[in-house]
Structure formats: structure tokens, C-alpha cells
Structure 1
Amino acid sequence: MGHTDKITVNDKGLSIAHDSYETWIEWAEIFRIHYSRFESELYEDRGLVFDYENGEFVEISDTAEGWDALLDNLERYLTMEDSTWRRKMADCPNETVITIYVNDRMFQPDCVNTLMIGDAPPGDSTFFFNGDSVLLEQVKESFAIALGEDVPEDHWDFLHYFRSREWFLIHLCPRSVNEVPEADRQRVRQQNIDRLAQQIADHRPSSIVCLHEDSKPWVLSALQLSGVQVDRCVSVESSADNDKDSFVNELAEIVRQIAL
């Protein structure tokens, strides 16, 4: 990973000034961000890799001037789904690359027909649109049961298929609630009703699928606040954590009904 001279951050993006040229990255263009660590007795190579959707990427070394300011501003300008991303960078094993950010808008259809609403991201460094979460595997299985052999097996291919069917996933809570005491989770959900209502208003779906029975009252409140009239608003009653088979089969039936 080549070393850079200076990083400058503003509300539009960041610039990386090298010896003879400057690279500009807009926040909206970033598809994924990875952290990599490769160290030996001969060298140390740590830093971030910024991916574009077309496969191009930009590498930034942690030796660059402005590195700390860049990290301090990531959460200001990007939605970092995993609140522990800094800790995961610090604990990253040698000779490893970890993903700390995925721009889910890259998988957002131009017109959202069905809005799937989860309670919160898992908080274990996996994420639906990163192609590595348990929920993604369960949703893919549900689609395969409902729609048959045309559903791709590959996770990334399925995410593009999911988009082509005009489905999209968002969460009531933008951050994981795993570390939030159970007694405080209702308060956190309540605090996010206005944000969810705005997202529903922005997408204006025909159908809403609530993935967690626990969050259903807040989803319904957000839907009412949004002013959007939907054809259906349904929820999966079984828990994906406690009864995976029932969750998958219930969701498959919902997918089948929406596809009719």
C-alpha cells in the first residue's frame, strides 16, 4: 500500500495529496471501506481501502498526515452500521482485511416496491449488504423457497437480484442494539421513529415487511407518521434467532404473496 502525504476532509469528500498529484473521493461515490493490516519484521502496512462500485479503489496508509482526522470524520459523513468499527480496526489480526463500511444505497432500486424493515444491524461486523450476514442467508433461502430456481445462490448475485425485484432493506435502529440493555431498547426504538418515517416517505413502498415482531409497534407508528399509504404491511412473527426454519418459511410465504 503506497504511502500518501496528506489527507484533507470536508463535507463533500476527502482529498489525498501525493508527491506529484492529488486524488479526490466523494463520500457519495464510496461503495465499501476495508481496513487492512500486513506486518512483518521488514515492513508495516496498515490502512484503509476505499472501493468504488465499478471495481476501482483508492488506498490510504495510516502513516498519512490527517489520518486521525479522517477516522474522526467517517461517522460524521457516512452511516457506519457497526458502532464498534474502530475497535475492530484495533483488533484486526495481522495479514487480514476487514470491511468496516458498505454503502447500502448501491443496492437500492430506483423504485422500491417492497421495503423490508429490520430492528437493527447485527453488530458483529457482518451486514446484509456486505454479503455476509445470517439475515442475508435466511432471506435468500426464503426467496428460493418462494420463487424457485431463478434465485441466485451466490450472495452478491442475490443482492443484485433482490434489487431487481425492487426490494430494499432498512432498519428501525441504524446501529446495533445488542449492547443496549433490554430495558433501554424500547427507548432507542422510540427515538428512531421520526428517522424511519422519513425513510418510508422517501421510498414510498407499496408493501412493508417487518422482520421483527418486537419492533412492529414502532414501524406502524413510523408508517402512520410518514403519511404513506401501502397496500400491505405485514410482519414475520417467528424469531430469526430462535426459530430459523419458521422464520424462513413465514418470510417465504410473504415473498410468494407479494410476487403474485
Structure 2
Amino acid sequence: MPEPSLPGGFVNAVVRVGDTVRRPASAPFVGELLKRLEAGGWSGAPRYLGVDDEGREVLGYLDGHVAWEPNQPAAVSSDESLVAVARLVREFHDLTAGTPLAGDHEAVCHNDLSPKNTVYQPYGGQLRPTAFIDWDLAAPGARIHDIAHVCWQYLGLGPSVTDVEQVARRMRLIADSYALAGRHSLVPTILWWQDRCWRGIEAQADAGDAAMARLREAGAVREVRAAFQWVSDHRGALERSLR
């Protein structure tokens, strides 16, 4: 059976085989998480189907539009889609809270939420987010970690932002749609993510990780550090919107 490559993957090679996706195996935790989400009746993640004869992880294929290219339809970044993303995150957090998978933490976090890891499907004539993919970084954590990552990635926080007040309003929209408690920590958590991200790429690239070396060569460290500086510079406006 043909195995066409799926676009967008920078770190892992991912192919489609019929109605399944094959990719390098994740930690066993990921399979347990996906099975838990399926058992909870949640359709916002791929089904975990085991491991094939080549040792690859087998997941159910989710049909739809994955927003991995820089230029996207306006519906992908609309207020309505931001609301839907926040509510999807709330759903899987609530499904994992208080379970052995979350342990002593608030919930299980995806830890890499972005439009590139989101499947959009037509709803009422417009694309809307319906599922998240690439769960290999999932781990127990604090709910605010995922919401901070959502704000960073789905709002494109960084030097390309031209309207700070509009972005601040949309950050408040995400926090409200999730019903986030302790939102005074949201901007500091965005900065924590950005600092952690560029330092992690540097450290892993220096240690010989080929994928991280490619990311660094592609300018990822420079871009994330610029985003960190932008959030730092506009921290006051962003935090005022959350009061």
C-alpha cells in the first residue's frame, strides 16, 4: 500500500497508510493518554491503534485541514476558532484531571498546541478546529501551561504583531473561553515557554540532535528570542487585558 508523507512534520517522518497514520513510536504514556481520551468519548485526538511490524506507532487518520503553512484562510485565526480551541483544550484537560495519568498535577498537557498541530473541518461554511495531533510531548502539568502556549502560537505573539490592543483582547478571549483561573500568571507563563523553547533548541542542537540543529539553522532560536522580547516589551498591555 502506498505511504505518502504527510506535510508539516519537521522533527518526525509521518506517513499515511490507508485510514491510518504511521510515525516513530512515542513514549507508552502517549498511547495510554489517547486510549483514555477515546474511552471518554472525546473525538479531539487520533485513535491509538498500536504498533506495526516496523515498530511504528499506528494512529487513526483524522481528515481535515491542518494549518501548517504560513498563509491560512481567515477562518483559521478567527475569534470563533480561538474560542473553539480554548474549549477543546478545556475538554481534554477535564478528562485527564484527577486520573493516574495526571498524577499529582492538575491535568495532562499537550505541550505543543499550535495551528500546525490542529485539524480544522468545515462547520457552518467555515473552518473550525476539531482535533489536535502530535501528542508526543504530552505530560502531566498545569492547565495554564497549555493555555499560555495557545496564546503564543495561535495569536502569533512576536514582532509581526501590528495591533497590540487587538491581540490583548484576543488573549482575554482565550482565557475567558477556557474559564482560566489564576490568569495573572498567563503572561509570565508565555515568557517561561519562550525562554524554555529557545534554550532547549540550543542545548539539544549542541548535544548533537539533528532535528534541533536543523531548527536552529532555520532561524528558530532567533525567532523565539525575538518573540520573547516582544512579549516582554508589551507585557503591561497584555496583562491589563486579563484583569
Same fold (TM over 0.5): no
Provide TM-score, normalisation by structure 2: 0.31
Q: For the pair shown, which has the larger CA radius of gyration, 1 or 2? A: 1
Provide TM-score, normalisation by structure 1: 0.29
1 or 2, which has the higher helix percentage? 2
1 or 2, which has the higher strand percentage? 1
